[in-house]
Structure 1
Amino acid sequence: MAHTYIPLEQYKRKWIFNHKDLPVTDEDKAGIKPLDQKSSMEVWNKWISNKSSRTEQFTKGDWAAKVDAWIETDHWQSAWDSEAVELPELLRNHINWADDTLVYFCYEKYQVIETRWDLFVRNWKSFLFFDDGPLLISPKKKQAVIFHQSGQYQIGHRG
């Protein structure tokens, strides 16, 4: 599946990667690739849901709506608010992907960013300036993470 990307300078949420309090290096910015609407939709339909367009709309038949998809809940907000740059511990322990693993950070059906795991790890706080239920997945891996506006996140496995 060949994707079409939006240049980061033209991405409508680009400010999250240009915030003065959480600077993202130019080198990392080059690896943060927002997908256009069509490519976002293809990723969402294939890996997340072909019924729901946002995480709060998941319904019967969506893997993420299954109770057993999510195995543990923890808080991301306190780590986000802290000076520490590391991912929350439970998340670090749950995902042991190689640095170059392709990941999708999916805000909703038409807002997906493609990047690498090491780039996400270094810049996770920037990605979470929008915390309205995004999902982190990798097409080749089963682990998944959903972030909630409540400041919590859940780790689990894609069905």
Structure 2
Amino acid sequence: MSHTYIPLTQYTRKWIFNHKDLPVSNEDKAHIRPLDQKSAMLIWNKWISNKSSRSELFTKGDWAAKQDTWKETGHWQSAWDSDAPQLPETLAHFIDWSGDAIVYFCYDKYQAIETTWEVFERNWKCFLFFDDGPLLVSPKKKQAVLFHQNGQYQVGHRG
């Protein structure tokens, strides 16, 4: 499946990767690849849901709506507010992806960013400037993370 990307300089939310308090290296910016709407829809439909367009709309039949999908809940807000760059502990222990694994950070059906696990791990706070239910998935892995606006996240295995 080939995707169409939006240059980061033209991405409507590019400011999240240019914030003075959370600098992103130019090397990492080269690996932060926003998808156009059609490509984001393809990713969402294939890996997340072909019924719901946002995480708060998940319904019966969506893997993310199943109770047994989510194994643990953690808090991302306190780690985000801290000066430490590390991922929240539960999340860091749950994900065992290689640094070069392709990941998709999906804000909703129409907005997603492709990057690598190591770039996401270094810059996760920037991605979460928009925290209204985004999901982190990797096509070749079953683990998934759902971030909630209340400062919590859930880790689990997608169906």
Name 1:119's counterpart in structure 2: 119
Aligned residue pairs, count: 159
CA distance in 2, matches of 1:117, 1:8: 18
Q: Which ranges of structure 1 fall in alignment gaps of 5 or more residues?
A: none
CA distance in 1, matches of 2:90, 2:74: 7
Name 2:100's counterpart in structure 1: 100
Name 2:147's counterpart in structure 1: 147
After superposition, the C-alpha distances for 1:86-135 in whole angstroms (9 at most, x for unaligned) are 00000010001100000000000000000000000000000000000000
Normalising by structure 1, we get a TM-score of 1.00
AA in 2 matched with 1:68: D
CA distance in 2, matches of 1:23, 1:93: 25
CA distance in 2, matches of 1:40, 1:133: 15
After superposition, the C-alpha distances for 1:30-74 in whole angstroms (9 at most, x for unaligned) are 000000000000000000000000000000000000000001101
Q: Report whether the alignment pairs 1:157 with 2:157.
A: yes
Q: Secondary structure at the match of 1:44?
A: helix
AA in 2 matched with 1:29: K
AA in 1 matched with 2:112: V
CA distance in 2, matches of 1:140, 1:74: 24
AA in 2 matched with 1:129: F
1:12-27 alignment, distance < 5 Å: 12-27=12-27
Report sequence identity in percent. 75
CA distance in 1, matches of 2:30, 2:74: 31
CA distance in 1, matches of 2:97, 2:41: 25
Q: Report whether the alignment pairs 1:72 with 2:72.
A: yes
AA in 2 matched with 1:86: Q
Q: Report whether the alignment pairs 1:61 with 2:58.
A: no
Q: Which ranges of structure 2 fall in alignment gaps of 5 or more residues?
A: none
Runs of 4+ in 1 over 6 A off after TM superposition: none
Name 2:52's counterpart in structure 1: 52
CA distance in 2, matches of 1:74, 1:96: 17
Cα RMSD for the two superposed structures: 0.3
